[in-house]
Amino acid sequence: AQSVSQHNHHVILSEAASLELGCNYSYGGTVNLFWYVQYPGQHLQLLLKYFSGDPLVKGIKGFEAEFIKSKFSFNLRKPSVQWSDTAEYFCAVNPGGYQKVTFGTGTKLQVIP
Protein backbone atom coordinates (compact mmCIF):
# COMPACT_ATOMS: atom_id res chain seq x y z
CA ALA A 1 0.00 0.00 0.00
CA GLN A 2 1.19 3.50 -0.72
CA SER A 3 2.36 5.70 2.13
CA VAL A 4 3.30 9.34 2.52
CA SER A 5 5.98 10.59 4.91
CA GLN A 6 6.28 14.12 6.19
CA HIS A 7 9.36 14.17 8.38
CA ASN A 8 8.92 17.65 9.81
CA HIS A 9 6.11 17.59 12.34
CA HIS A 10 6.49 21.12 13.66
CA VAL A 11 8.47 23.93 12.05
CA ILE A 12 9.00 27.38 13.54
CA LEU A 13 10.32 30.18 11.32
CA SER A 14 10.70 33.92 11.51
CA GLU A 15 9.00 36.06 8.90
CA ALA A 16 10.98 36.36 5.65
CA ALA A 17 12.77 33.06 6.23
CA SER A 18 12.72 30.48 3.47
CA LEU A 19 10.60 27.36 3.84
CA GLU A 20 11.01 23.81 2.63
CA LEU A 21 8.73 21.05 3.87
CA GLY A 22 9.64 17.51 2.97
CA CYS A 23 7.27 14.94 1.48
CA ASN A 24 8.23 11.43 0.37
CA TYR A 25 5.93 8.74 -0.91
CA SER A 26 6.19 5.07 -1.60
CA TYR A 27 4.60 4.04 -4.88
CA GLY A 28 6.44 2.96 -7.98
CA GLY A 29 3.99 3.90 -10.69
CA THR A 30 2.45 7.08 -12.01
CA VAL A 31 1.24 9.30 -9.21
CA ASN A 32 -0.73 12.46 -8.67
CA LEU A 33 0.60 14.67 -5.90
CA PHE A 34 -1.01 17.34 -3.77
CA TRP A 35 -0.32 19.77 -0.99
CA TYR A 36 -3.27 20.87 1.13
CA VAL A 37 -3.25 23.55 3.80
CA GLN A 38 -5.41 24.08 6.86
CA TYR A 39 -5.29 27.59 8.29
CA PRO A 40 -6.38 27.98 11.92
CA GLY A 41 -10.14 27.62 12.17
CA GLN A 42 -10.58 26.98 8.45
CA HIS A 43 -11.27 24.02 6.20
CA LEU A 44 -8.56 22.06 4.45
CA GLN A 45 -7.96 23.55 1.02
CA LEU A 46 -5.79 22.78 -1.97
CA LEU A 47 -2.47 24.60 -2.17
CA LEU A 48 -1.13 23.03 -5.36
CA LYS A 49 -1.14 19.79 -7.32
CA TYR A 50 0.94 17.85 -9.82
CA PHE A 51 -0.54 15.52 -12.42
CA SER A 52 1.97 15.60 -15.28
CA GLY A 53 4.26 17.92 -17.23
CA ASP A 54 6.59 20.45 -15.64
CA PRO A 55 7.76 18.95 -12.34
CA LEU A 56 7.96 22.40 -10.78
CA VAL A 57 4.45 23.35 -9.78
CA LYS A 58 3.35 26.76 -8.62
CA GLY A 59 0.42 27.20 -6.28
CA ILE A 60 -1.39 29.93 -4.44
CA LYS A 61 0.25 32.50 -2.15
CA GLY A 62 3.73 32.08 -3.61
CA PHE A 63 4.13 28.40 -2.80
CA GLU A 64 5.75 25.95 -5.17
CA ALA A 65 6.65 22.28 -5.10
CA GLU A 66 9.05 20.17 -7.11
CA PHE A 67 8.35 16.57 -8.10
CA ILE A 68 11.57 14.56 -8.18
CA LYS A 69 10.59 11.12 -9.43
CA SER A 70 13.97 9.51 -8.70
CA LYS A 71 13.71 10.56 -5.07
CA PHE A 72 9.96 9.88 -4.70
CA SER A 73 9.69 13.39 -3.31
CA PHE A 74 7.39 16.37 -3.63
CA ASN A 75 8.81 19.03 -1.34
CA LEU A 76 6.97 22.28 -0.71
CA ARG A 77 8.88 25.56 -0.84
CA LYS A 78 8.36 29.26 -0.33
CA PRO A 79 11.22 31.77 -0.56
CA SER A 80 9.92 34.14 2.11
CA VAL A 81 7.21 33.17 4.61
CA GLN A 82 4.71 35.50 6.20
CA TRP A 83 2.93 35.34 9.54
CA SER A 84 -0.26 34.50 7.61
CA ASP A 85 1.36 31.26 6.41
CA THR A 86 0.98 29.82 9.91
CA ALA A 87 -1.02 26.67 9.25
CA GLU A 88 -0.84 22.90 9.00
CA TYR A 89 0.35 21.52 5.68
CA PHE A 90 -0.51 18.07 4.34
CA CYS A 91 1.09 16.23 1.47
CA ALA A 92 -1.09 13.72 -0.37
CA VAL A 93 -0.57 11.17 -3.13
CA ASN A 94 -2.61 8.76 -5.19
CA PRO A 95 -1.89 6.36 -8.02
CA GLY A 96 -2.70 7.87 -11.37
CA GLY A 97 -6.22 7.18 -12.52
CA TYR A 98 -7.56 6.17 -9.14
CA GLN A 99 -9.38 8.46 -6.76
CA LYS A 100 -8.25 7.16 -3.37
CA VAL A 101 -5.82 9.65 -1.85
CA THR A 102 -3.35 8.95 0.95
CA PHE A 103 -2.39 11.85 3.20
CA GLY A 104 0.72 12.41 5.26
CA THR A 105 0.58 13.18 8.96
CA GLY A 106 0.94 16.91 8.38
CA THR A 107 3.47 19.59 9.29
CA LYS A 108 2.52 22.44 11.57
CA LEU A 109 4.20 25.65 10.50
CA GLN A 110 4.43 28.52 12.94
CA VAL A 111 5.72 31.83 11.60
CA ILE A 112 6.88 34.33 14.19
CA PRO A 113 6.44 38.01 13.30
Partner 1 sequence: GAGVSQSPSNKVTEKGKDVELRCDPISGHTALYWYRQSLGQGLEFLIYFQGNSAPDKSGLPSDRFSAERTGGSVSTLTIQRTQQEDSAVYLCASSLGAAGRTDTQYFGPGTRLTVL
Least distance in Å: CB of 95 to partner 1?
9
Q: Which of 17, 21, 18, 19 is nearest to 9 (CA)?
A: 21
90 binds partner 1 (CB under 8 A): yes
Instruction: Tell me which stretch binds partner 1 (CB under 8 A): 14-22, 69-77, 78-86, 89-97.
Output: 89-97
**How many CB atoms are closer than 10 A to CB 37?**
23
Site string for partner 1, 4-33 (x = CB under 8 A): --x--x----------------------x-
What values do phi and psi take at 61, rounded to 5?
60, 30
**Longest Cα pair distance anywhere in the chain, in angstroms?**
42
- Compare residues 75 and 94 and give the one whose CB is closer to partner 1: 94
Pick one of 45, 80, 82, 84: the residue that binds partner 1 (CB under 8 A): 45
CB of 65 closer than 8 Å to CB of 75: yes
The DSSP letter of residue 84 is G
Point out which residues bind partner 1 (CB under 8 A): 6, 9, 32, 34, 36, 43-46, 49, 51, 90, 92, 94, 96-106
